Amino acid sequence: MLALKALLAERLITGKVSIAPLVTFRILFGLLMLASIVRFWAYGWIHQFYIAPKVYFPFLPGVEPLPGVGMYVVFSAMAIAAAGIALGWFYRVSTTTFFVLFTYVELIDKTNYLNHYYFVSLMAFLLIWIPANGDFSLDVRRGTRRPTDQVPVGFLNLLRFQLVVVYFFAGLAKINSDWLLKAQPMKMWLSANAYRPILGTILRYKVTAYLFSWFGMVYDLSIPFFLSLKATRQLAFFCVVVFHLMTWWLFPIGMFPFIMIGLTTVFFSPEVHLKVLTILKSLFKWQVRPEVRPTAISHPLLKLFAVFIALQVLIPLRYLSYPGDVFWNEAGYRFSWRVMLMEKAGSATYYVRDRDTGQQSMVANYEHLSPQQEKMMATQPDILVQYAHYLHDHYEGLGMTDPIVTADVFVTLNGQPSRRFISPEVDLSKESIIGSYSLVVPLDH
């Protein structure tokens, strides 16, 4: 037993491997993040999402966008940090800065939440602790980091593990009746793309939706396994490229496909990465020779990684502790890799009533919320409650006495008939954001 443990520890954690995969991962991650930030800026989204709105729905109390040009400063610092990661320049400062600022931006407003934002935060956090600047970095060039050619394999396996988590739980979440037995919402999504040239004709058929749904489930559950096997790795990566380019072509999901294509290369053998790194060194006339010296993962770092791994397994499963349908009440939905699994839309009409006089008025949501915020608010119970708290304070400031805030909310899920989402009698301004899922009328009611 002890011999088996030692063997597993060497294979998974302590064994030595070329640093090349970490270096190429660092470069790809930094460049992809830099491109994402430039794209975000170019589309005017900094102003649209973090300056223009009148109200925000933060994940944590007190998290707010900086005033004035503050958010442009934040994104500028993120861009510099992303470049620093790619170049291996002040690497620890760059990774820490990028992680803190990117996560801060992500926490400002729930209505902007995307799975790949969460994924980026996790990868940035891991890179803080992973010595990916040990070769072909400006830190090595300027002498602040001793060059090395080998690292413990645990660092490489940790990056691979995080990608496995994304794929596995995305596939697991697809094992549900709507996705597999009804091919919903795939039917709706594909039929909306029937106008596209060449492939558009076949997208209108029901059988195509079923094929896409089942393939998506099998792909997510199996691709990490096939990427891990040398015999199937090249074909599997070809499937990764085709799959993500297809989703990019069909759906407006931004940089996510390219991030997944780029970072999935971490599954290639160290020898492949070493060849790529050798080419890069030749192009940039890199002369610094790495040292062959022993390195190890410290015990405190091992404990940190163990906690990280446990959380990455448990957090996506937390929905099991809540009653009801997770697609309906969304209890435990976020941070669980439920990537493009449902088509959900709703309408929320709010009413504010003076507690003393009984005078009531209907709220014009467009006066307070952006179109994106109104769309996301109408289907997510915690945001519905947060908005009610905001309306209570807003109308109290206008002279109302302890306003009662209620809402008529109707939601449709995956093409089903619209139905009431929460009781119109509940004063949402008195409800807690935590546990707001309990306000949702059960789907089978």
Residue type, 442: P
Task: Tell me which of 320, 353, 376 is where a domain ends.
Answer: 320
Q: Are 180 and 217 in contact (CB under 8 A)?
A: yes
**389 in a structural domain:** yes
**335 in a structural domain:** no
Q: Are residues 225 and 260 part of one domain? A: yes
Q: Counting runs of H as helices and runs of E as strands, what totals does the chain give?
A: 19, 6
**234 in a structural domain:** yes
Q: Are 209 and 190 in contact (CB under 8 A)?
A: yes
**4 in a structural domain:** no
- Domain count for the chain: 2
Q: Are residues 396 and 363 part of one domain? A: yes
pTM: 0.95
**444 in a structural domain:** no
Q: Are residues 315 and 198 part of one domain? A: yes
Q: Are residues 366 and 309 part of one domain? A: no
Alpha carbons 13 and 41: distance in angstroms, whole number = 40
**338 in a structural domain:** no
Q: Are residues 316 and 354 part of one domain? A: no
Q: Are residues 283 and 395 part of one domain? A: no
Q: Are residues 374 and 262 part of one domain? A: no
Q: Are residues 258 and 112 part of one domain? A: yes
For residue 368, CA distances in Å to 51, 54, 346, 421 come to: 14, 6, 17, 22
pLDDT at 437: 92
Q: Are residues 370 and 238 part of one domain? A: no
Q: Are residues 251 and 360 part of one domain? A: no
Say how many C-beta atoms besides its own lie within 10 A of residue 420's C-beta. 13
Residue position matching structure tokens 């390219």: 258
Task: Tell me which of 320, 337, 367 is where a domain ends.
Answer: 320
pLDDT in tens, the chain (445 residues): 666 666 677 778 889 999 999 999 999 999 999 999 999 999 999 999 999 999 999 999 999 999 999 999 999 999 999 999 999 999 999 999 999 999 999 999 999 999 999 999 999 999 999 999 999 999 999 999 999 999 999 999 999 999 999 999 999 999 999 999 999 999 999 999 888 887 888 999 999 999 999 999 999 999 999 999 999 999 999 999 999 999 999 888 889 999 999 999 999 999 999 999 999 999 999 988 877 676 789 999 999 999 999 999 999 999 999 999 999 999 999 999 998 999 999 999 999 999 999 999 999 999 999 999 999 999 999 999 999 999 999 999 999 999 999 999 999 999 999 999 999 999 999 999 998 999 999 988 6
**128 in a structural domain:** yes
Q: Are 384 and 374 in contact (CB under 8 A)?
A: no
Q: Are residues 368 and 316 part of one domain? A: no
Domain around 418? 345-439
Residue 244: its H or E element = helix 233-250
Q: Are residues 290 and 242 part of one domain? A: yes
**325 in a structural domain:** no
pLDDT at 7: 67
